[in-house]
Each structure stands twice: as C-alpha cells, then as structure tokens.
C-alpha cells in the first residue's frame, strides 16, 4: 500500500468519524474516543445488529462504543452486558405507571397479546446463519418481555409465527401503526395476500 493510499484512507476515516459526530452530537465523545452512549434517532448504529447478541439497536438502548467504533449493547437485560446484569423486576412506581398506561391505552378488545418470556420460540438465538426473529412492521428483533400479536391476520387461530409489536411500554406501537383503530386489515403484512372479510 502506498503512502498516498494510507493518507487517503486515514483522511476518509477521519471524515466519516466527523460526520458521525456532527449527526449525533449527544454521543460525540463516545463516538470519537469510545465509551458509553445512548442510542438516538441520529445514531449510526440505530437498527443495526449488535455483534455480540445479534439484537437490533433500538431508540434509547444503552451501548458501549469501542475505539474502533464497534458498538455493543451495555444493558443488563441483554446477554452482551458483560457483567452489568441487572434484575428485570420493575419498581412499584414503574409498575403503577405502566398499569395506568394499559388502562389509558388498552389493547384492542379480544386481541391476544403475548408477552415473550424466557424459552419462547420467538426468542431463540440465531443459529446456522439465520437471524433472530423480528417484528414484521418495525424490523427490530424480538426481546424478552416484549408484547406482541402473533399472526396478526388470524391471532385467535395463528396460521404462522410472525409477530408484530403491540408494546407501548417499550415505545413499539407497530400493531397500531399497521392496524390503526383495530380495524381489520384486508391484507397480510408479510405476504400482502388479501384476507377474507
């Protein structure tokens, strides 16, 4: 590699880093030097996959940025926490807040909402080159304690294992975006097949 090529590559790397800092000023120190950051709408890693746990980075996710700009989750609820594991039990205040949220913004009547708990097949780790299961609307990976509608076309008698978030607690309103007002959609969100009714 010639000296001019090395200089050109270093200049490109510095330019890309400058762009990332300018776009996401809330995390500029971590982007430049490495360290802890919070995923924002402007973070270059938003919607990308963590190289450790293979989950997507969501808005508000705590992350650690290495000096080489590799990003991994820094959240005790995910397997890549590296010793920062925390309990998943919410405080009484948090529980009361979310109970109020459920009262003010209830799920559609007769709509089975499933809380993904440890061992659920949709939480299986990626194997043999496959990726983790994702919400068919937002594209984010499904995580422990996410609330979803399974087979939104036929949730009472699921025809498939496709899931759509209906999880205001985590800021994931995918089902409501796909099906506003709980009106029956006339197409499948996966195949675009016209539905009966």
Statement: residue 87 has pLDDT above 60:
no
Domain boundaries, the chain: 3-73, 92-182
Residue 138: per-residue pLDDT:
94
Q: How many CB atoms lie within 10 A of CB 30?
A: 21
At 181, the pLDDT band (50, 70, 90 cuts) reads low
Q: Provide the token pair at 189.
A: 């969100």
DSSP H/E element including 164: strand 163-165
How much is the average pLDDT of 145-156?
89
Burial bucket for residue 62 (CB in 10 Å: 0-12, 13-18, 19+): middle
CA separation for the pair 95, 91 (Å, rounded): 6
Q: Which of 156-165, 169-178, 179-188 has the lowest mean pLDDT?
A: 179-188
How much is the average pLDDT of 117-137?
89
How much is the average pLDDT of 87-111?
78
Whether the CA torsion 139, 144, 49, 98 is positive or negative: it is: positive
How much is the average pLDDT of 42-59?
94
Statement: residue 190 has pLDDT above 70:
yes
At 99, the pLDDT band (50, 70, 90 cuts) reads confident
Burial bucket for residue 162 (CB in 10 Å: 0-12, 13-18, 19+): buried
CA separation for the pair 93, 48 (Å, rounded): 32
Instruction: Give the E-state strand segments of 2-136 in sequence order.
Output: 35-38, 62-65, 71-73, 114-115
Task: Kindly report the average pLDDT of the chain as a whole number.
Answer: 84
CA separation for the pair 97, 195 (Å, rounded): 37
Helix, strand or coil for residue 145? Answer: coil
Statement: residue 161 has pLDDT above 80:
yes
CA separation for the pair 62, 82 (Å, rounded): 13
Q: Which of 1-15, 88-102, 108-122, 183-197 has the lowest mean pLDDT?
A: 183-197
Residue 184: per-residue pLDDT:
63
How much is the average pLDDT of 171-194?
76
Statement: residue 179 has pLDDT above 70:
yes
Give me the residue label for tokens 């799920």. Answer: 107
Give me the residue label for tokens 């919070």. Answer: 38
- What is the percent of the chain with per-residue pLDDT over 70, rounded to a whole number? 90
Per-residue model confidence as pLDDT tens digits over 52-81: 999 999 999 999 999 888 999 998 888 786
């Amino acid at each position: 590699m010639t000296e001019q090529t090395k200089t050109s590559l270093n200049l490109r790397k510095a330019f890309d880093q400058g762009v990332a800092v300018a776009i996401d000023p809330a995390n500029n120190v971590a982007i430049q030097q490495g360290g802890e950051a919070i995923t924002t709408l402007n973070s270059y890693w938003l919607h990308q996959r963590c190289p450790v746990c293979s989950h997507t980075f969501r808005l508000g996710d705590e992350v650690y940025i290495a000096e080489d700009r590799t990003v991994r989750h820094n959240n005790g609820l995910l397997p890549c926490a590296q010793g920062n594991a925390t309990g998943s039990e919410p405080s009484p205040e948090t529980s009361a807040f979310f109970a109020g949220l459920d009262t003010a913004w209830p799920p559609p009547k007769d709509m089975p909402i499933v809380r993904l708990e440890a061992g659920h097949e949709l939480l299986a780790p990626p194997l043999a080159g496959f990726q983790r299961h994702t919400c068919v609307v937002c594209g984010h990976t499904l995580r422990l304690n996410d609330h979803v509608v399974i087979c939104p076309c036929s949730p009472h008698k699921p025809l498939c294992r496709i899931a759509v978030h209906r999880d205001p607690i985590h800021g994931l309103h995918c089902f409501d975006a796909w099906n506003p007002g709980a009106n029956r959609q006339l197409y499948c969100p996966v195949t675009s097949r016209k539905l009966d009714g």
